[in-house]
Amino acid sequence: MNPNHHPATPLSPGRKSKVLVLGAGNFGSCLADHLGDSSHDVYMWSREEDLIDYFNQHHKNLRYLTDHDFSLSVQAIGPELPSAEFIKTVDVILFAIPTEGVRSTLTQLRPRLDEKNLPLLIFVNKGIETSTHALTLEIIVDTCGKDIARCATFISGPSFAKEIVRRQPTSVSVASLSEAHADKASQLFHQPWFRCYTGGDPIGIELAGALKNVYAIASGIGEGLGFENNTRASLITRGLAEMTRIGVAYGASPLTFLSLAGVGDLFLTCSSPSSRNYTVGFRLGKGEALDEIIKTLGSVAEGVTTAKGLKAIIDKLGVYAPIATGVYEVLYEGKNVEEGARALMELPPQKEVDLPEGTGGPLKELMRKLGEA
């Protein structure tokens, strides 16, 4: 057996579930493996035929976590989206695809869902849709309706895939507008090596998970420019302040940004070369061009596209967010990274804690869509 693979005894056997994981990238693969080792039957969908064939033959992923021996309970399927007949037999659908692909996938999937026997829908993507500036919950409302959106569940937190497959202790936030569905997702994933903490603020969880990638780019830029620990600590702390301001203006709870999905994920992503977004920033700080970085990165860095959607949200809400704005200017307006860093340091003094009041417009609008306003 591969020494990198550490199967463990589940916390409690419970009922075996049939799980469909949409996406065979780093995170989809590692969660499929985790659920397979937790005594569930897992089907991991991919659009890539060579990946599917290789996985089923060798129980290894051709492109991601390539040294890892995956659970024998995981089978790769595709490249076509599973049929309605297959979907009807599934207990859980886990969405581990980039945010930009969620709308089209849900649009295809919706006619195949049985309204009388819906599977538990769990989303682990982190981002903002570029064209609409929508969070995933709003995409679900648009494509599947309010009843399905109310039951959707979101998982986020400090969780590098390469550590999850080694069964290193990991903790995450699980949130839904439905407490019962958050509890179901928590029970599905919770093991001695993977702890789940539930909450009722999916919008806050989504914003935190998306925004931290933008601040990880800023942190990487600082490192690439040669700045050290003081700078990183400042960027993480002020990044958290910006995230919280944006979240409160949107309608999220400020406490959510103190959670695993908030400060926990922000700290991890801003302080590790294993983070793709941090790596993008680091290489920008070293003087590389964005196009070349994206071409050679090898996987998706969602902070790059998220920065564009976030800038639109910041402008709409009128929130003061100089770090996020600076990242946008570097990525999309050709601003020099050294000039951007200098501009941030030359800003006038300000209050350290300053939350907006009387806001929450986007959340109120979404709640109306959900029939809860």
Strand 170-176 relative to strand 153-156, pairing? antiparallel
Q: How far apart are the first and last CA of the chain?
A: 55
Record the tokens describing residue 53, joined without a space. Answer: 């064939």
CA dihedral 219, 269, 308, 355 (to 10 degrees): -80
Among 88, 212, 286, 311, the one annotated catalytic: 212
Has 212 been annotated as catalytic?
yes
**Which residues are designated catalytic?**
212
